[in-house]
Amino acid sequence: MIPLRTHLVTPVLALAMIACQRTASHSAVASAPAPAAHPSTQSEAAYAAKARADSARLPYTKADIDFMSGMIGHHAQAIKMANWAESHDASPAIRVLAARIINAQKDEIFTMQTWLRDRNQTVPEPNPTGMKMMMNGMEHVMLMPGMLTEQQMAQLDQSKGTDFDRLFLTFMIQHHKGAVSMVKDLFSTYGAGQDETVFKFANDVQVDQSTEIARMEKMLLFTGAPVPPGNQ
């Protein structure tokens, strides 16, 4: 009788084992992770989601748009002035300063254009003569605070050597002071400067250009020229 009982129990155990295996297989399939999205698609979606979230949490204002748009032309003029250092026989110290201005402000123009483009705003071209604006159906070129007039730019372009050094420092101090005033105007406008990118960029402009103003004032005194009124 014992052998008979053994043969009856074995099929029952076999059936139980098969059932367990099927259950385990079904659980594994159900819990398997979904196929991962393509890295580029995933990163683009994440960037778009972050931009929407940032805009909802920290909305930008017309003052932010005007600041970023106006500063593009402002930076473009500084780059044009700095590009003259080598061709106008500037001193080594002025050439180093000019190279620093070019490198920093080219990157910042890209940042401003990207910020505007991401928010479906008009993206101005880097125009060293000023910002183009439509008023009463006519196009006007508007100089941002501190930007050089056409006559001042011509005066700088016609100078060489030590005269160029003196005028470059004088005019770039004026130019930087204008940029700092634009930041102050931005932060004094209700609700403006709350966007993360605008806030960081504006702070960088204020700190970096204030530091450069102090450095240029010392360089200008070294040339024997007086520091322009309002910059001492």
Which among 144, 119, 146 has a CA at the least distance from the CA of 54? 119
- Cα distances from 228 to residues 14, 113, 149, 167, 210, in angstroms, run 98, 32, 16, 11, 15
Average pLDDT, the chain: 83
In a domain, 62, yes or no: yes
Give the total number of structural domains in the chain: 1
For residue 199, the SS3 value is helix
Of 12-16, 33-37, 137-141, minimum mean pLDDT range:
12-16
Most confident of 12-21, 23-32, 38-47, 220-229: 220-229
In a domain, 23, yes or no: no
142 neighbors 68 (Cβ within 8 angstroms): no
In a domain, 48, yes or no: no
The backbone region for 23, taken as left when phi is positive above 0, alpha when psi lies in -120 to 50, beta otherwise, is: alpha
**Predicted pLDDT of residue 52:** 60
In a domain, 69, yes or no: yes
Name the band, by pLDDT with cuts 50, 70 and 90, for residue 57: low
Could you tell me which residues are beta bridge partners of residue 141? 132
What 8-state DSSP symbol labels residue 134?
A: E
Tokens 């600041």 correspond to what residue?
Answer: 67
**Predicted pLDDT of residue 8:** 40
Domain that holds residue 216: 58-121+143-222
Integer Cα distance of 30 and 43 in angstroms: 27
Q: What is the mean pLDDT of residues 43-67?
A: 75
Looking at per-residue confidence, does 21 or 221 come out higher? 221
Integer Cα distance of 232 and 214 in angstroms: 9
Count Cβ atoms below 10 Å from residue 141 Cβ, excluding itself.
12
Q: What is the mean pLDDT of residues 197-225?
A: 93
Residues 6+ apart with CB under 8 A from 180: 205, 206, 209, 210, 213
**Predicted pLDDT of residue 7:** 43
In a domain, 79, yes or no: yes
Per-residue tokens: 217? 């004032």
- Cα distances from 5 to residues 1, 12, 13, 173, 179, in angstroms, run 6, 11, 13, 104, 97
51 neighbors 118 (Cβ within 8 angstroms): yes
Q: What is the CATH number of the domain that holds 147?
A: 1.20.1260.10
Name the band, by pLDDT with cuts 50, 70 and 90, for residue 15: very low
Count Cβ atoms below 10 Å from residue 53 Cβ, excluding itself.
10
**Predicted pLDDT of residue 202:** 98
In a domain, 77, yes or no: yes
In a domain, 110, yes or no: yes
Could you tell me which residues are beta bridge partners of residue 198? none
Instruction: Indicate whether 109 pLDDT > 60.
Output: yes
In a domain, 215, yes or no: yes
Could you read off the pLDDT of 131-157 as tens digits, one per residue? 876 667 776 678 999 999 999 999 999
Of 53-62, 70-79, 100-109, minimum mean pLDDT range:
53-62
pTM given for the model: 0.73
